[in-house]
Chain A
Amino acid sequence: MKALLISDQEYLTNTYQELNDLTGKFFKQKGYEIEMIELKGENVTFCMGCFGCWIKKPGECIINDGMSQINRRVMNSDVVIYLSSIIFGQFSPTIKNVIDRGLPNMLPFFEKRPDGSTMHPPRYDTYPSQIIIGYGDDISNEDKQLFIDVTKKHRRSIEVLIYQEPFENTIQALNSIELGRVGGLL
């Protein structure tokens, strides 16, 4: 079993270091082989909305940087954990680039979800379970709630945690998450 830990080297706070150590240890104890992707801003540029990944080279981003390799590793992991600093209640710019550029892993079409809203269908039958962990110093409650809502209100099969002291809370939360490959419905 493979766990892929994606982190952003732009926000190397003490909290980040604790969280990174804790997460790595947790998955190692669960028997996972850990792979790390430690990103810097210049590694992954932003999605340009060209839709080349849907209509030119389906399933692959046509921008020639490290992202194709990241998407391949994401799709072939059992669990993917994103460690993101909480910025304006959202992800850090580099983590957001990685999320935006996950678009090749979805299909372009529209489908209706059980709640009546519209969504793109998955490209693959199964996906890794995904966990986003937000961290930061002096984050307001409003921003923490927004960080959760940004993902949980719109996506299924993905978990969001806010890292906070004491770290036992995060371990407990991680323990309650079902791990392993899941369906890809957004």
Chain B
Amino acid sequence: MKNIVLVSASPKINEQSVSKEFLEMAGNQINSDLYSKTLIDVRKSFLTHNLAEDFETLAQADVMIISFPLYYFCLPGMLTRFLVDYQNYYTAPGNIKKHVKVYAIVNCGFPEPEINLEAVRVIKSFSQHINAEFRFGVLIGGGPMMVAAKEAPFMKKAVQKLNSAFTSITADIQDEISTTMDSIYIGVNFPFSRHLYYFMGGRGWITMARKNGLKIKELYKKPYRINE
């Protein structure tokens, strides 16, 4: 039975993780009778000092699906550390190397899925450094909104596209012969203007700040350059 390891790499704590939600959607499409599925939560791995055990699990993987949010146009620092340490572990002499297929699911808050491309390229580079086969990425724009409004009628098309992308991963895992696959880009089809999306996003931040007892003008504080 092939081992599939789902790597959830949102650094958030005590909050719903959009990356994990997408990963679970992808994982649910994979038949448990045919594949063994294991989830690694990178944040928990660091918190509980469980890295050695998780690296061991990862080293047994035939397939890795890595899901994470975009941080400053690339991987979160936490995931970067995890992959560097894993590479050191995996490439150490004595470890048995397997043929591994790697997939990336990257989401960002910006509506444009293309912004995630360089992060996918980094996962490709990581794959090359551990002699794994990078297959393709699923690049998601407006990820948090997609999860928050997934039941809304205007989100139907995007959710369908997500499911179809995750079906493509499942099919590709099964394929013995690798054909070239392009990455898949999924954005939100807004029933409203982009300007309104920006406005709603802004209102969201203001509402959260107010709940924390802040006034609107305090959001614009300049603590390090008071004279500006």
Which residues does A use to contact B, with CB under 8 Å? 41, 46-51, 54-56, 58-60, 71-72, 75-76, 87-94, 96-97, 99-103, 105, 107-112, 117-119, 123-126, 142-143, 146, 149-151, 153-155
Contact = CB atoms under 8 A, between A and B. Distances in A.
A109 B74 contact: no
Contacts of B89: none
Contact of A46 (B11, B123, B129): B11
Nearest to A87: B84
A108 B205 contact: yes
25 contacts: A46-B11, A47-B71, A47-B77, A49-B69, A54-B209, A55-B214, A56-B209, A58-B209, A59-B221, A88-B80, A89-B125, A90-B74, A91-B80, A92-B80, A94-B77, A96-B75, A100-B71, A100-B77, A107-B220, A109-B201, A110-B202, A125-B225, A143-B125, A150-B118, A150-B122
B192 interface: no
Given A88-B122, A102-B72, 13 more contacts: A41-B81, A46-B78, A47-B11, A49-B11, A55-B214, A88-B83, A89-B121, A90-B74, A93-B80, A93-B84, A103-B72, A107-B219, A146-B125
A56 B84 contact: no
Return the 9 tightest CB-CB contacts between A and B, nearest first: A97-B77, A93-B81, A75-B224, A46-B78, A46-B77, A110-B198, A96-B77, A88-B125, A154-B73
Contacts of B209: 54-56, 58
A154 B115 contact: yes
B176 to A, nearest CB: 27
B1 interface: no
A102 to B, nearest CB: 7
Given A118-B198, A151-B73, A56 B212 contact: yes
Given A55-B209, A59-B221, A153-B118, A118 B75 contact: no
Contacts of A48: 11-13, 78
Given A46-B81, A58-B209, A146-B125, A109 B198 contact: yes
A55 B208 contact: yes
Contacts of B99: none
A6 B10 CA distance: 26
Interface in B118-163: 118, 121-123, 125-126, 129
A136 B208 CA distance: 43
B107 to A, nearest CB: 12
Nearest to B203: A109
